Structures are given as structure tokens and as C-alpha cells.
């Protein structure tokens, strides 16, 4: 019997995933990664109940130290430098999957599974296994996992790849799982009361009021502290002008936020840093790729270009969805071929 370690968050997706794997004949080991301060959170209790009902082993692994040192630090540092961080991508890449594979190796499990809505398929074009987006772009989570290495992909199972969310809830109800109607998590898991409150609690005296200015340096009003805002933001600025304005630039050095018109956010080219490609760059350079510059984006077409050892993505048409710090992920024929952070 093949053995699989599955990440159990206590939600309906991972719970039904564990059930489906058991039905397929796997020996299933459920693992909950606890990044919270409480030893026995509701999510841990829910995961344990599901595992008990399914008759599978349940393990809880404390990851608080790594979570604080890597994810929380990255999140706070990001807002301190005026970018919009992507903590879930960093957490999946540097903590969650790393630990799940370590546990799988410890228990001699051939596979690792999660409740993500994505799939791993063999690409004949690139002659390797790659992540592939699922039927619904609204639920597709391949964007979040683009940094996973090919050797990990070959051992990954995503049981929900062909299901809709409604079908998953119906299965959970049918087999008697209490989490069948549990709400999906929204936003970042460590800032459930909003990222602004979390930043205020952690950055405290570092957050001081500063000026809103226009592109010519004219003062337009006051903001509550540059760390509390993101590029492209329109709502919640606390300022009334004669026309709609958006944040076009954040200046941490002077604690100033530049406001401008929506058109000023448009660009047809972005530079990539901290990039990672699952297909050799040379094979991608002349291909027209679909780029998703944020998780909620349906994508924009364009091409990768290299100039003086820097890598850029050139869009076919301008768009306004390119906040510094967000990750842009590239697809070809539905397969995830790479991505990077927007500089």
C-alpha cells in the first residue's frame, strides 16, 4: 500500500482530500502545521476530528518559530520598505511544503498531498511534470505554488483537481464531516482582523503620520503612516479631492505617499527579481505567455525579455495590476512555467 502525507488545515478542502486518498487505497497520514500561538486552536481540533472519523493518523507539528522568523519578518519588512508582500507564496515554498516532505521522508511516504485546487501533469512540450491550472480560474491555486521544484512536483498529489468547491462541500456533508459548511479562510492567516491592525500592533512607534503628495511634490493631505498602504489603493485613503486618486508610489525614506490618476498605474513592462523557472528560461524567451501579476488576475499575454542580465516581462497591452512585491506567475498551455517578484 502506497503511503501519503497530507497537510490538514482543518478546513473542508484538506478534509475531503484525505477522504478521497483513503478511498483510493492510500495509507494516509494527516499533518497539521501549527503556526499560531494557541496549542489547541479550532483548526487543529477540526483536523483531529476529521482524522479520527476517517481512521487515519494525525500529527501536529509546531512551526511557530520558523513562521515568525521567515513569514512574519518578510511580511513586516515588506510593508516597511513600501512593497506589497505575498506571504502565502513564501510560506508554501519555504516552510509548509518543505516540512511536509521532511515528514514524508521520515515516515517513508512516497507522496505528499494538499487540498489545493491545482494539478500536476506531464507536459509533452517541455518533457517534464509541471503544475497545471484547473478548470476554474477563480479557484485555481497553481499561482500560489509556482516556486515548487520539479523534484517535489513528481511526488505531489492534488486530489481536488477535478472537483468544484460545491462538490467538495457535498461530499463532506454526505460522509458526515462537521466541517462541510466551514467558511473558507480569507486574507492572511495571521492577520484575521485585518493587515492594518496587525501592522500597527507589530510596528507600533515606527508608524507615524506623513504627507500625501502629487507627482510634483505638492502636499495634498496627511496619511496615517506609509506602512499601512499599498500601491494601487484607492479606498481608505482618508482624503477628499475633486477627483478619484490612487496610490502610485510609496516613499519610505521620506514617509510620503504619491497620489495620482488611475492611468499613472499603467505599464507595459515589469522587472523580475527572486524569479524561479520550472522550465529553462531559454525555452520560454520567444513564447507568448499568460502572466498573472496577482492571485485574482485572469492574466495578460506577453513575452519574457532579458536585457543586461535583468529579466523583464513585456505585456502586449498595458495594465495597472503590477504592485511592487507581488508575484507574477507565467503559464503556457495551462502549465506553470515560472514566475518572480515584481521589482
Q: Check residue 154 and give its pLDDT.
A: 93
> Considering Cα of 100, then 139, then 305, then 274, what sign does the dihedral take?
negative
Q: What top-level class would CATH report for the domain 3-115+159-181?
A: alpha beta
- Which entry of 91, 144, 279, 342 is annotated as an active-site residue? 91
Domain ranges of the chain: 3-115+159-181, 207-264, 267-342
Q: What top-level class would CATH report for the domain 267-342?
A: mainly beta
> In the structure, how many helices (H) and strands (E) does the chain have?
10, 17
Q: Check residue 40 and give its pLDDT.
A: 59
Integer-rounded Cα Rg, in Å, for the chain is: 22
Residue 189 is a catalytic residue: yes
- Which entry of 70, 173, 189, 287 is annotated as an active-site residue? 189
- What average pLDDT does the chain have? 95
When pLDDT is averaged across residues 127-141 and rounded to a whole number, the result is 84
Q: Check residue 38 and give its pLDDT.
A: 60
When pLDDT is averaged across residues 5-13 and rounded to a whole number, the result is 97
In percent, the amount of the chain with pLDDT more than 70 equals: 98
Dist. CA 153–CA 287, nearest whole Å: 23
Q: Which residue has the higher pLDDT, 261 or 139?
A: 261
pLDDT single digits (tens) 65-84: 999 999 999 999 999 999 99
Name which of 272, 278, 274, 244 is nearest 259 in CA terms: 244
Which pTM was predicted?
Answer: 0.94
Q: Check residue 218 and give its pLDDT.
A: 98
Q: What top-level class would CATH report for the domain 207-264?
A: mainly beta
pLDDT single digits (tens) 156-200: 999 999 999 999 999 999 999 999 999 888 778 888 889 999 999
When pLDDT is averaged across residues 297-320 and rounded to a whole number, the result is 95
pLDDT band, residue 128 (cuts 50/70/90) = very high
DSSP assignment letter at 248: E
When pLDDT is averaged across residues 249-271 and rounded to a whole number, the result is 97
When pLDDT is averaged across residues 196-216 and rounded to a whole number, the result is 97
Residues 6 or more apart whose CB falls under 8 angstroms from that of 268 comprise 302, 314, 315, 317, 318
Q: Is the pLDDT of residue 222 over 60?
A: yes
Name which of 244, 255, 267, 245 is nearest 316 in CA terms: 267
Amino acid at each position: 500500500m502506497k503511503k501519503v502525507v497530507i497537510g490538514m488545515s482543518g478546513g473542508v478542502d484538506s478534509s475531503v482530500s484525505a477522504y478521497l486518498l483513503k478511498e483510493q487505497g492510500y495509507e494516509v497520514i494527516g499533518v497539521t502545521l501549527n503556526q499560531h500561538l494557541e496549542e489547541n486552536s479550532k483548526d487543529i481540533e477540526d483536523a483531529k476530528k476529521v482524522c479520527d472519523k476517517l481512521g487515519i493518523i494525525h500529527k501536529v507539528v509546531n512551526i511557530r518559530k520558523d513562521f515568525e522568523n521567515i513569514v512574519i519578518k518578510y511580511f513586516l519588512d515588506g510593508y516597511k520598505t513600501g512593497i506589497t508582500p505575498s506571504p502565502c507564496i513564501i510560506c508554501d515554498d519555504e516552510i509548509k511544503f518543505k516540512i511536509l516532505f521532511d515528514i514524508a521522508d521520515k515516515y517513508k511516504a512516497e507522496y505528499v498531498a494538499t487540498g489545493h485546487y491545482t494539478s500536476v501533469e506531464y507536459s509533452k512540450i517541455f518533457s517534464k511534470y509541471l503544475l497545471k491550472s484547473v478548470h476554474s480560474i477563480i479557484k485555481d491555486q497553481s499561482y500560489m505554488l509556482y516556486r515548487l521544484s520539479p523534484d517535489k512536483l513528481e511526488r505531489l498529489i492534488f486530489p481536488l483537481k477535478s472537483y468544484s468547491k460545491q462538490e467538495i462541500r457535498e461530499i463532506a456533508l454526505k460522509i458526515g464531516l462537521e466541517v462541510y459548511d466551514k467558511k473558507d479562510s480569507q486574507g492572511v492567516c495571521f492577520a484575521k482582523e485585518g493587515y492594518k491592525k496587525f501592522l500597527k500592533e507589530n510596528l507600533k512607534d515606527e508608524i507615524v503620520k506623513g504627507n500625501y503628495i502629487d507627482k510634483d511634490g505638492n502636499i495634498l493631505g496627511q496619511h496615517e503612516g506609509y506602512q499601512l498602504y499599498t500601491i494601487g489603493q484607492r479606498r481608505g485613503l482618508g482624503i477628499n479631492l475633486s477627483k478619484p486618486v490612487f496610490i502610485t508610489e510609496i516613499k519610505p525614506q521620506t514617509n510620503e505617499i504619491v497620489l495620482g490618476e488611475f492611468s499613472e498605474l499603467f505599464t507595459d513592462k515589469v522587472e523580475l527579481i527572486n524569479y524561479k523557472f520550472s522550465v529553462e528560461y531559454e525555452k520560454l524567451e520567444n513564447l507568448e505567455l499568460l502572466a498573472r501579476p496577482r492571485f485574482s488576475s485572469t492574466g495578460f499575454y506577453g513575452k519574457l525579455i532579458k536585457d543586461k542580465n535583468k529579466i523583464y516581462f513585456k505585456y502586449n497591452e498595458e495594465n495597472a495590476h503590477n504592485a511592487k512585491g507581488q508575484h507574477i506567475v507565467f503559464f503556457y498551455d495551462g502549465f506553470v512555467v515560472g514566475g518572480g517578484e515584481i521589482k
